[in-house]
Structure 1
């Protein structure tokens, strides 16, 4: 059997040792690179001057928890159900009317009752929020702000918001007021709204003033 010389065996061991040491060094370098790798290396930063990426949906603001104001308009804003009369003190639409207007209405209603006529309140005082909602609805219904203005005023100019106007129903009550309202200072203001009445104290002696074709002709609506 041929024996390997001692010098050759020594050389072989050195080569193996060098290979092991080199392999360990490579492994150590790889581990060090992984440990020090940036967490977001998989997501490169946007170029300078570019828009930042949108935040995850979990960071977006949650929708308001409260219901929209439109859904909360109610009795306290002046909404009235059918059957409310000028004597019904349970509703702000009635009690928040100007006291002189309400007094004239109740006096007229008392006399009208002798003729079998009842004064119902279709609408009286309204909150700003309620008036704004009615105006938005009118714009949607009539297709433009200009056309809507013929029927619904802004909150800043509305006589309903100030408590100085009432919409009377049913038709027989409006008809009764048309013939007798001036005696109590109650006058129809707009030709296109036979239900809309306001107090004009001078009408008791002079009769009701000339009616406007619609609210857009009323100077008060342009203040």
Structure 2
């Protein structure tokens, strides 16, 4: 054996040790990622956007909520007559393969103010924001008298059949926004406003 052979053998052992340590570290990292993935799927937490949009108790409605979900305050706190009409319509729409999802329903005054503040930031002025979001003092959502329905097949169904249940689209620019107009059952829905700024209720 030459004088360099022990050194070469030691070098090979060092490389093997480093490679083994690298493999162990990678396995550990994979284990951490798997654990985190399982934890996330088993125990979902609110996303930052959920926190920004408010709490369930204030009327924030998470994705996938339907008009029959009484445990969601945004649904449960709707005016009983409006909710009853919505549920009758949703039951009949289901026979046509259409589901009613709730994008927004009842809102607390604080949540309505938060949405208005966000709209002002988005549209650049309070005047422009008023075309989309009312004040807490004027919003029918705060009174539980309005609902924003998703998805497009549901709004299309309501556009065609809603009057039979007293459910009417109120604004041209918001095809998802519905309110109860009982007289519509016999006389059809009233003419729509171009947007909320044309609604006399919003002028208070």
Structure 1 residue 72 displacement after superposition:
8.8
Q: 2:80 aligns with which of 58, 76, 99?
A: 99
Q: Establish whether residue 166 from structure 1 lines up as the match of residue 120 from structure 2.
A: no
When Rg is computed on C-alpha atoms for both structures, the one with the higher figure is: 1
* Aligned positions, number: 154
Give the equivalent residue in structure 1 for 2:24. Answer: none
Alignment partner of 1:90: what SS? coil
C-alpha displacement at 1:115, in angstroms?
A: 0.3
1:149 aligns with 2:130: yes
Q: Aligned match of 2:157 in 176, 184, 192?
A: 176
- Counterpart in 2 of 1:131? 112
Give deviations 1:83-117, integer Å, cap 9, x for gaps.
Answer: 10000011010000000000000000000000000
User: Is the CA contact (8 Å cut-off) linking 1:101 and 1:199 kept in structure 2?
Assistant: yes
Are the counterparts in 2 of residues 190 and 196 from structure 1 also a CA contact under 8 Å? yes
Deviation at 1:179, TM superposition (A): 0.3
C-alpha distance in structure 1 between counterparts of 2:115 and 2:165, whole Å: 29
SS of 1:195's equivalent in the other structure is strand
Say which is worse superposed, 93-102 or 70-79, in terms of deviation: 70-79
The correspondence of residues 1-20 of structure 1 with structure 2, limited to 5 A, is: none
| Secondary structure at the counterpart of residue 132 of structure 1 | helix
Moved over 3 A (4+): none
Unpaired stretches in structure 1, ≥5 consecutive residues: 1-69
Structure 1: distance between partners of 2:52 and 2:153 = 33
Secondary structure of 2:136's match?
coil
1:196 lines up with 2:177 in the alignment: yes
**8 A Cα contact 1:132 1:154, kept in partner:** yes
CA distance in 2, matches of 1:136, 1:143: 10
| TM-score normalized by the length of structure 2 | 0.74
1:207: which partner in 2?
188
| Unaligned 5+ runs, structure 2 | 1-50
Q: Aligned ranges for residues 78-89 of structure 1 at < 5 Å?
A: 78-89=59-70
- CA distance in 2: counterparts of 1:76 and 1:91, whole angstroms: 8
2:95 aligned with 1:114: yes
Structure number with the higher helix fraction is 2
TM-score of the superposed pair, with normalisation by structure 1: 0.68
* C-alpha contact 1:104 1:185 (8 A) present in aligned 2: yes
**Alpha-carbon distance in 2 for matches of 1:89, 1:71:** 23
Over aligned residues, Cα RMSD in angstroms?
A: 1.1
